[in-house]
């Protein structure tokens, strides 16, 4: 008599887990142990606790979402190769970044991050080519996905190498590279891309890659301008207030929140295109042009003194940047009907938008609490109504209200989608605008 089938709800035994999971856990644990034993002079008890907690979290998330395993190992191997290439006859030498071929063109932090920029833009292009080619077997979107993975891997590897490079400048200078606008824009790019890739796999659709990666490419555009115009890639010593282990937990949690809010805004954008394509009322998408116009005003906002010092010069870069934004919004609105046929159902988009906002809100809440604790240690008070703190509270209240209206009041539809899109404006101002217009205790990344 054949054995009865095991019900689908029966829990899997621990031994049913593939050997690769245990191998990944062993590699992460070994790396953490090497760091704890090999770098005692650079880690106090709090940083050791953060390292152990990060290792455990990476193992747990890697077991839950297995693509993260080879991603993190690949980035670590590339960073280890770069660190090895920095070793010269007389020991580690930062100057080898300009003389060693692989470092100069591929694996120094600046080279890796430059390749990240190129690959994210190419990923965006291939996602859109696939979306605008309904007869395509989604091979182009698959290529866009692989390019996004490669870009994210280089971004993380570049960040790790930059961390090492900061110590080559001096043991008292070294720090985790998440302290200025250049570094956090890199963090924003790969965190946003990773969360999108997770949700892409979860919802089994690649049609939103063009929307989300478009926003990542916009961040790349800002990053490139910041490098050329402000030399933002230069490693500089931290100001005293940032020389704290709190930065290692506060900033990553903050940018997971920012990344999720950004994804939610682009999913909401896709929802609106689908909704108004079905309703046939294109003119109701006019606020999207208004948002593009706001970006077009950036040349006047991101201005600098003219060489003669007699006025304000408008950067041609931002003129082109704003014009491209208007053109892209116009094309998306014009192509809303064929795009709507390629997008997931509105129910899927609504669920995706909700889950990313809920995830972002949870991490942003954690980041806000950690920030208050950090402020108490650094400045003697949990809250000082500093502009950055005030706008962080505005962002938190905005998404708390969004979740309240959806979960408690049962609101659905266009209002919530528009709210999620406009929420990106609020978040962007808290992220960049405060550094541009306002000053305060958090003025570490001025433009």
Could you read off the pLDDT of 386-401 as tens digits, one per residue? Answer: 888 889 999 999 999 9
Distance (Å, rounded) from C-alpha 308 to C-alpha 430?
A: 33
Distance (Å, rounded) from C-alpha 91 to C-alpha 283?
A: 65
Distance (Å, rounded) from C-alpha 124 to C-alpha 132?
A: 12
* DSSP 3-state of 431: helix
Residue whose token pair is 């190769």: 81
Question: In the 8-state DSSP scheme, what is residue 239?
Answer: P
Closest among 400, 418, 420 to 408, alpha carbons compared: 400
Pick 100 or 409 by higher pLDDT: 100
Q: What is the pLDDT of residues 322-354, one digit of tens each?
A: 778 778 888 888 888 888 888 999 999 999 999
Distance (Å, rounded) from C-alpha 355 to C-alpha 148?
A: 22
Q: What is the pLDDT of residue 293?
A: 61
* DSSP 3-state of 87: strand
356 — phi, psi (to 5°)? -70, -35
Mean pLDDT for the stretch of residues 11-34:
84
Q: Are 168 and 239 in contact (CB under 8 A)?
A: no
Global pTM? 0.91
Q: What is the pLDDT of residues 272-327, one digit of tens each?
A: 988 888 766 666 676 766 666 665 555 455 554 334 443 444 567 777 777 787 78
Q: Are 336 and 282 in contact (CB under 8 A)?
A: yes
Asked whether residue 9 carries a pLDDT value surpassing 50, the answer given is: no
């Amino acid at each position: 008599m054949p054995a009865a089938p095991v019900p689908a709800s029966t829990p899997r035994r621990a031994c049913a887990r593939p050997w690769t999971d245990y191998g990944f856990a062993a590699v992460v644990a070994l790396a953490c142990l090497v760091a704890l034993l090999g770098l005692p002079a650079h880690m106090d008890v709090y940083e050791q606790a953060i390292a152990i907690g990060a290792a455990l979290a990476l193992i747990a998330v890697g077991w839950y979402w297995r693509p993260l395993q080879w991603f993190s190992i690949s980035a670590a191997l590339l960073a280890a190769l770069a660190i090895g290439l920095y070793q010269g006859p007389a020991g580690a030498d930062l100057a080898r970044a300009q003389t060693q071929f692989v470092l100069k063109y591929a694996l120094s932090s600046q080279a890796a991050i430059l390749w990240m920029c190129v690959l994210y833009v190419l990923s965006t292009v291939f996602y859109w080519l696939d979306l605008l080619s309904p007869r395509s077997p989604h091979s182009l979107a698959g290529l866009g996905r692989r390019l996004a993975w490669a870009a994210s891997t280089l971004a993380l590897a570049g960040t790790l190498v930059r961390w090492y490079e900061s110590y080559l400048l001096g043991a008292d200078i070294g720090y985790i590279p998440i302290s200025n606008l250049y570094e956090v824009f890199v963090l924003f790019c790969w965190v946003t891309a990773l969360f999108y890739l997770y949700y892409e796999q979860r919802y089994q659709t690649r049609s939103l890659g063009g929307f989300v990666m478009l926003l990542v490419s916009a961040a790349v555009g800002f990053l490139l301008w910041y490098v050329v115009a402000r030399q933002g890639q230069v490693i500089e010593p931290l100001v005293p207030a940032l020389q704290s282990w709190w930065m290692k937990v506060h900033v990553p949690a903050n940018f997971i929140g920012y990344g999720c809010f950004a994804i939610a805004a682009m999913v909401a954008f896709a929802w609106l295109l689908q909704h108004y394509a079905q309703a046939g009322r294109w003119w109701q998408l006019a606020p999207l042009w208004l948002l593009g116009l706001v970006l077009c005003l950036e040349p006047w906002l991101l201005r600098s003194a003219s060489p003669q010092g007699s006025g304000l010069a408008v950067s041609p870069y931002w003129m082109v940047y704003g014009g491209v934004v208007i053109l892209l919004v116009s094309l998306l609105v014009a192509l809303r009907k064929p795009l709507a046929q390629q997008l997931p159902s509105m129910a899927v988009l609504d669920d995706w938008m909700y889950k990313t906002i809920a995830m972002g809100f949870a991490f942003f809440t954690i980041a806000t609490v950690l920030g208050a604790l950090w402020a108490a240690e650094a400045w003697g008070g949990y809250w000082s109504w500093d502009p950055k703190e005030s706008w962080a509270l505005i962002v938190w209240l905005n998404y708390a209200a969004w979740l309240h209206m959806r979960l408690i009041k049962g609101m659905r539809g266009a209002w919530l989608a528009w709210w999620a899109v406009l929420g990106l404006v609020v978040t962007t101002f808290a992220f960049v605008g405060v550094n541009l217009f306002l000053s305060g205790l958090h003025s570490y990344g001025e433009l």
